[in-house]
A and B are shown apart, each in its own frame.
Chain A
Amino acid sequence: CSGQKEELPYVERPVEQIYTEAANAIDNRNFTKAALLFDEVERQHPYSQWAVRAQLMSAYAHYQAVRYDDAITTLDRFIALHPGNRNAAYAFYLKALCNYERISDVRRDQSTTYEALQNLQEVVRRFPASPYARDARLKIDLTNDHLAGKDMEVGRFYLNTGEYMGAIKRFRRVVDEFQGTSHVPEALHRLVEAYLALGIREEAQVNAALLGHNYPGTVWYQYTYALMNRAERGERPSLFQRAIDWVL
């Protein structure tokens, strides 16, 4: 934050003057000031042609100033007022970005991730031919990867605490619902771990085979391979390994 005041002194001015000042602020990368000025255009001259553009510019400036809530409020208003505007695709896309930028790490609340996913899907659904859709598709993949990461995190927690059934449910979900994501090989390996811990050899075997067939080159397959071999020979882990397992 540049220490800019939240409110501008209220002075009635011609629309061109405010708009130019706002545009200059954008050029100088003073986004907080720009947002306030663009808002002022709309506030003082809501019926001018400039107001429509100012709304979108204000959203962009808020977005750049990392004030996503303000940007989303402005964009929602733009979308409600001008759903047919030629810049509507951009408005939808910018709204998705505001949520996308706020995605927190998988150990915390993921509601913005879901929100971002829905916004991105809306861009693709409404404006499939727009250049924004292309980027949105990419970001949908990344968002899905993140959501799969959340399930992995919870699954690993259950695995660590010995709640194998809970762990299996989460890893299954990653394998079934997030097929293209980077987490699938690990999820398959964790499934093998959980099934072996429960003593269900056949299920472990099935998942190990799936992992070997689809992701033979991954480090997870190596782990699974070692794990299955040991289980096959009926070997118990070494005394040292058991000591470590007991301590951890």
Chain B
Amino acid sequence: TSTIALSTGAMAQEAFDGGIIREIRVEGSQRIEPTTVRSYLTVQVGDNFDPDKIDQSLKSLFATGLFADVSIRRDGGVMLIAVVENPIINRIAFEGNRRIKTEDIAPEVQLRPRTVYTRTRVQNDMERIQELYRRKGRFAARIEPKIVQLEQNRVDLIFEIEEGQMTGVQAINFVNNNVFDDSDLRDIMITKESRWWRFLSSNDNYDPERLRYDQEQIRRHYLRNGYADFKVLTAVAELTPDREDFFITITVDEGKRYRFGKIEIVSDIPDVDVEPLYSALTAYAGEWYNGDKIEESITALTNRLGDLQYAFVEIDPLLQRNQEDQTIDLVFELKESPRVFVERIDIIGNYSTLDKVIRREMLLVEGDPFSISKVRRSEQRVKDLGYFLQSGVEIKTAEGSSRDQSVITLEVEEQPTGEIQLGAGYSSTDGALLDFSIRQRNLMGTGQDLRLSTLLSSRSFEVDLGYTEPYFLDRDLAAGVDLFRVVRDNRDTISYDLESTGMVLRAGFPLSEKLRQRISYSLVHNKIDNIYFGSSRFLQDQMGSTITSSVESQLLYDDRDSRIEPTSGYYFLWSVEFAGVGGDTRYLRNRITGGQYWEPFEEVVLGLTTEAGYIWGMGKDLRINDRFFIGGDTLRGFEIGGIGPRNVPNINDTRYSDALGGTIFSRASLELTTKLGLPDELGVKAHAFYDAGTLTAAKEKPGEGDVFYDSAKIRMSAGVGVSWKSPFGPIRLDLAYPIAKEPYDQTETLKFSFGTRF
């Protein structure tokens, strides 16, 4: 008899040659039945002693992971299999973990009580725990497995964890950079150096994945600015000897700066006329080389060709460097790509979100020509929904039923889409305020948005319930309904309390990529009450309830690069509201708004917004709260309703005057915004502005014993402000000085707001 181990094929050759297996006997199995062991063998009773097959059997027994050792012997016609079973885990425990709870570690660990213990599995689990700690920024964490042997071949497994300190990034240094200095490059990176103000951020923890992303961002930054030969030579993260911090050193090779030389389009496809395609290019000869422009041009060319029914085109940019005049000639080569169609689009991982909510974001439909750029953009659109983890959205493509068919599989990983916000703050118009909102952005997976928000301040109470279906009836039509109630104590500004309750039905749809139409109907009940006893007789007339039923149309053309913080582009908004579809009031209100943004220097944004409005009573008296009021945010330096028609009820006491609102207004605002060279993530910006505006044409006439003011003169103000996107909500402080005003205007020099609203 002889014993073989896994790799002793040659020895087995001699020992097992010839003869027939008359019996297979299993020795040493305790828990695992001999039949189970036999089922993993590739030989059975009656077969020859075949060394290859026996070797295979041995391997497959080891592969089960059930055994610590297996050996096969021969005793005459008997095949003897001796096994030593791996122990079974009795209990798993974690010790020393404080920062990550046991409930959070346990699911990551693959071993379970009652499973078979193997050293490989323990090793894998240690790595998983280590990874958990790395993600929390604790690179110094050490994990030690301890094993307690129990009777019946069982073990208790204890992971002893030494968590160690947070590993921050002490410094990020660059070597060989001449064009951009260290701080420019640090601004591009997401990884940040640890600083006291970053106590709420985790970007100052070292994360190798993030560092890789940062390298790519730096590379793209250089490529955008003409450095076509740029390379990151090394990016090294060194742990300080105390294992608490990292030093990151990035060595770069900037290379020369190039301009675009000749730009050509060459087509391998016979009947494509390249001449008209040149207008699609966004890269121009003579400009500094820019990698982004090449990408943009390829996208534009692909789209243009798609319109011309060339669906299967691949575009390769060929670069030719001319060292003597430092230019790069660019040839876009159009080649026919394989004719592949989309066979099927499968969506998986959407346990709560409906299939169609995701499918409608796909720019490809089953049966379409396959296009990798459309796949990428679709992936981005699905990510932009915000229903899924950014890292959890992944598109895979595989060959379908034939070579020209491709199956696209979109895998998503859902994340919670409910939000609760609680805010507190202070603003000069509302006083102290408390803001609470609860929102579900993906209501039961239908993509519908439901939100309830309330605002309580010392002068007002607001509650608003809004519901939106973004694709009403599967069309690109966002429809929704709002219900609201506002109770406002306006006595300080316009001398009365206003209670407003109502609902709005709205629908919006795109007319083109940038032009959107919105139509809404609103029914509002307004109640004016508590008019100050000594206030204007015009105000006294307003007492009581009215019902306004109106339809409104809004047309928005938006070419801004961002809605929230635009730096370039313009927008234009035209709205017309007609009240008098039933109800007590009747008017036609027109309003035009336009804005333009420039970036004259880097990190300096200049914005110009203008607005004008006119309200026509259509033969009926216009109620004061339907009229226009400007001031506050719309004309800084003045109170809300601080300019425009005014009535002083008592000629002997000019301290009291009431704003009546106007029927015509116009205003303009020029504002310069800069980050003051501060790092982006601080969120601090400085503003300088110049506002101008006028509000006029009240219908009232002065009466006996009172004074009536109404002047169309343009008021102007200038000022400076600072805003901070603080972790607790936005804060803004404005200091404005009225340059041109009327003596009766009400001014406001300092304006401070803190909380959820500006």
Chain A residues at the B interface, C-beta cutoff of 8 Å: 10, 39, 42-47, 51, 73, 77, 80-85, 104, 106-111, 150, 153-154, 157-158, 160-161, 163, 165-166, 168-170, 248
Chain B residues positioned under 8 Å from A109 (CB to CB): 347-351
Given contacts A84-B33, A107-B354, are A165 and B39 in contact (CB under 8 A)?
Answer: no
Q: With A107-B354, A163-B367 given, name 9 new contacts (CB 8 A).
A: A43-B88, A43-B91, A43-B154, A46-B153, A47-B152, A80-B64, A81-B32, A166-B367, A166-B368
Interface string of B348-372 (1 = CB under 8 A from A): 1111111110011000011110000
Interface locus among B112-120, B286-294, B744-752: B112-120
Interface string of B367-383 (1 = CB under 8 A from A): 11000000000000000
Chain B residues positioned under 8 Å from A107 (CB to CB): 354-356
Q: Is the CB of A81 within 8 A of B354?
A: no
Chain B residues positioned under 8 Å from A170 (CB to CB): 366
Is B445 an interface position by the 8 A CB rule? yes
Of A42, A84, A104, A150, which one neighbours B39 at CB under 8 angstroms?
Answer: A84
Minimum CB–CB distance for B281 against chain A, Å: 31
Is B474 an interface position by the 8 A CB rule? yes
Minimum CB–CB distance for B585 against chain A, Å: 30
Minimum CB–CB distance for B340 against chain A, Å: 15
Of A44, A46, A154, which one neighbours B31 at CB under 8 angstroms?
Answer: A46
9 A-B residue pairs with CB within 8 Å: A46-B152, A81-B31, A84-B35, A108-B352, A109-B347, A150-B355, A157-B360, A157-B474, A165-B368
Chain B residues positioned under 8 Å from A160 (CB to CB): 474
Q: How far is the CA of A83 from the CA of B36 in the complex (A)?
A: 6
Chain B residues positioned under 8 Å from A111 (CB to CB): 348
Is B30 an interface position by the 8 A CB rule? yes
Given contacts A109-B349, A169-B367, are A46 and B88 in contact (CB under 8 A)?
Answer: yes
Chain B residues positioned under 8 Å from A84 (CB to CB): 33, 35-36, 38-39
Minimum CB–CB distance for B600 against chain A, Å: 44
Minimum CB–CB distance for A115 against chain B, Å: 12
Is B66 an interface position by the 8 A CB rule? yes
Minimum CB–CB distance for B110 against chain A, Å: 11
Determine which residue in A45, A73, A107 has the highest number of CB atoms from chain B within 10 A of its CB, and name it: A107
Minimum CB–CB distance for B382 against chain A, Å: 14
Q: How far is the CA of A47 from the CA of B30 in the complex (A)?
A: 6
Given contacts A83-B36, A84-B35, A108-B445, are A39 and B66 in contact (CB under 8 A)?
Answer: no
Q: How far is the CA of A104 from the CA of B36 in the complex (A)?
A: 36
Minimum CB–CB distance for A26 against chain B, Å: 19
Chain B residues positioned under 8 Å from A81 (CB to CB): 31-33, 36, 66
Q: Is the CB of B114 within 8 A of A153?
A: no
Q: Is the CB of B115 within 8 A of A77?
A: yes
Is B490 an interface position by the 8 A CB rule? no
Of B39, B343, B349, B355, which one neighbours A153 at CB under 8 angstroms?
Answer: B355
Q: How far is the CA of A77 from the CA of B153 in the complex (A)?
A: 18
Q: How far is the CA of A165 from the CA of B30 in the complex (A)?
A: 61
Minimum CB–CB distance for B191 against chain A, Å: 35
Is B299 an interface position by the 8 A CB rule? no
Q: Is the CB of B32 within 8 A of A46?
A: no
- A155 (CB) vs chain B CBs: closest residue: B366
Q: Is the CB of B114 within 8 A of A43?
A: yes
Q: Is the CB of A165 within 8 A of B366?
A: yes
What 9 A-B pairs are tightest by C-beta distance, nearest first?
A165-B367, A84-B35, A166-B366, A166-B365, A163-B365, A107-B354, A46-B88, A160-B474, A47-B30
Interface string of B107-150 (1 = CB under 8 A from A): 00000111100000000000000000000000000000000000
Is B90 an interface position by the 8 A CB rule? yes
Determine which residue in B115, B348, B351, B367 has the highest number of CB atoms from chain A within 10 A of its CB, and name it: B367
Interface residue SS majority, chain B? loop
Of B39, B347, B348, B367, which one neighbours A83 at CB under 8 angstroms?
Answer: B39
Q: Is the CB of A10 within 8 A of B91?
A: yes
Interface residue SS majority, chain A? helix
Minimum CB–CB distance for B289 against chain A, Å: 41
Q: Is the CB of A158 within 8 A of B366?
A: yes
- A54 (CB) vs chain B CBs: closest residue: B114
Q: How far is the CA of A165 from the CA of B35 in the complex (A)?
A: 55
Chain B residues positioned under 8 Å from A169 (CB to CB): 343-344, 366-367
Chain B residues positioned under 8 Å from A85 (CB to CB): 33
- A150 (CB) vs chain B CBs: closest residue: B355
- B366 (CB) vs chain A CBs: closest residue: A166
Is B473 an interface position by the 8 A CB rule? yes
Q: Is the CB of B91 within 8 A of A47?
A: no
- A161 (CB) vs chain B CBs: closest residue: B474
Chain B residues positioned under 8 Å from A42 (CB to CB): 114
Q: How far is the CA of A104 from the CA of B355 in the complex (A)?
A: 12
Minimum CB–CB distance for B125 against chain A, Å: 16
Determine which residue in A39, A84, A104 has the highest number of CB atoms from chain B within 10 A of its CB, and name it: A84
Chain A residues positioned under 8 Å from B152 (CB to CB): 45-47
Minimum CB–CB distance for B661 against chain A, Å: 39
- B342 (CB) vs chain A CBs: closest residue: A166
Interface string of B413-431 (1 = CB under 8 A from A): 0000000000000000000
Minimum CB–CB distance for B140 against chain A, Å: 31
Minimum CB–CB distance for B398 against chain A, Å: 15
Minimum CB–CB distance for A161 against chain B, Å: 6
Chain B residues positioned under 8 Å from A46 (CB to CB): 31, 88, 114, 152-154
Chain B residues positioned under 8 Å from A150 (CB to CB): 355
Given contacts A46-B152, A81-B66, A82-B33, are A104 and B351 in contact (CB under 8 A)?
Answer: yes
Q: Is the CB of B114 within 8 A of A39?
A: yes
Q: Is the CB of A108 within 8 A of B353?
A: yes
Q: Is the CB of A108 within 8 A of B355?
A: yes
Q: How far is the CA of A109 from the CA of B38 in the complex (A)?
A: 40
- B65 (CB) vs chain A CBs: closest residue: A80
Q: Is the CB of A154 within 8 A of B359?
A: yes
Contacts of B97-113 to chain A: CB distance below 8 A: 112-113
Chain A residues positioned under 8 Å from B355 (CB to CB): 106-108, 150, 153-154, 157
Q: How far is the CA of A169 from the CA of B406 in the complex (A)?
A: 13
Chain A residues positioned under 8 Å from B112 (CB to CB): 73
Minimum CB–CB distance for B10 against chain A, Å: 32
Minimum CB–CB distance for A227 against chain B, Å: 21
Q: How far is the CA of A39 from the CA of B38 in the complex (A)?
A: 27
Minimum CB–CB distance for B202 against chain A, Å: 30
Q: Is the CB of A43 within 8 A of B90?
A: yes
Minimum CB–CB distance for B497 against chain A, Å: 42
Given contacts A10-B91, A109-B348, are A43 and B356 in contact (CB under 8 A)?
Answer: no
Q: How far is the CA of A10 from the CA of B148 in the complex (A)?
A: 15
Chain B residues positioned under 8 Å from A44 (CB to CB): 90
Minimum CB–CB distance for B474 against chain A, Å: 5
Q: How far is the CA of A235 from the CA of B113 in the complex (A)?
A: 72
Q: Is the CB of B365 within 8 A of A158?
A: yes
Chain A residues positioned under 8 Å from B31 (CB to CB): 46-47, 51, 81
Q: How far is the CA of A168 from the CA of B356 in the complex (A)?
A: 17
- B343 (CB) vs chain A CBs: closest residue: A169
Minimum CB–CB distance for B699 against chain A, Å: 41
Chain A residues positioned under 8 Å from B352 (CB to CB): 108
Minimum CB–CB distance for A24 against chain B, Å: 21
Chain B residues positioned under 8 Å from A158 (CB to CB): 365-366
Minimum CB–CB distance for B431 against chain A, Å: 47
Q: How far is the CA of A108 from the CA of B113 in the complex (A)?
A: 34
- B29 (CB) vs chain A CBs: closest residue: A47
Chain B residues positioned under 8 Å from A154 (CB to CB): 355, 359, 366
Minimum CB–CB distance for B471 against chain A, Å: 9
Interface string of B325-357 (1 = CB under 8 A from A): 000000000000000000110011111111110
Minimum CB–CB distance for B668 against chain A, Å: 41
- A39 (CB) vs chain B CBs: closest residue: B114
Q: Is the CB of B347 within 8 A of A165?
A: no
Chain B residues positioned under 8 Å from A165 (CB to CB): 365-368
